[in-house]
Amino acid sequence: MADKPSFSESQLEIAQIAKALSHPARVFIMERLLNSNFCSGKSCCTSGEMINDIPIARSTLSQHLKELKLAGLIQGEIELPTIKYCVNTENWERAKQILENFIKQ
Report how far residue 42's alpha carbon sits from residue 88's, in angstroms, rounded to the nearest whole number.
9
Bridge partner list, 17: none
Question: Is there a contact between 99 and 13 (Cβ–Cβ < 8 Å)?
Answer: no
Q: Assess 59 for contact with a second copy (CB under 8 A).
A: no
Q: Which does 39 bind (CB under 5 to 8 A by kind): DNA, a second copy, none?
A: none
Cα–Cα distance for residue pair 16/62, rounded to 1 Å: 20
Instruction: Give the residues lining the site for DNA (CB under 7 A).
Output: 19, 22-23, 25, 46-49, 51, 56-67, 76, 80-83, 85
Instruction: Give the residues lining the site for a second copy (CB under 8 A).
Output: 2, 4-8, 11-12, 14-15, 18-28, 31, 34-35, 52-55, 96, 99-100, 102-103, 105
